[in-house]
Amino acid sequence: MKDVGITVLRNELKVLPGGLQLLESMTRPGAENGAKSEDFISLIARVDPSQPSILLYHQPIQFERTARAGIGLN
Question: How many domains in the chain?
Answer: 1
pLDDT digits (tens, 9 = 90+) for 19-66: 999 998 876 544 545 556 668 888 889 999 999 999 888 776 777 888
Residue 53 forms part of a structural domain: yes
Four-point Cα dihedral 35, 15, 61, 31, nearest 10: -20
**pLDDT of 2:** 79
Residue 46 forms part of a structural domain: yes
- Residue 17 banded pLDDT, cuts 50, 70, 90: very high
Residue of 62 and 3 predicted with greater confidence: 3
Q: DSSP of 6-68, one letter per residue?
A: PPPPSSEEEEPTTS-EEEEE---TT-TT---HHHHHHHHHT--TTS-EEEEESS---HHHHHH
Question: Domain range spanning residue 60?
Answer: 2-68
**Angstrom distance (rounded) from CA 25 to CA 13:** 9
Residue 73 forms part of a structural domain: no
Residue 74 forms part of a structural domain: no
- Is pTM, for the whole model, over 0.75? no
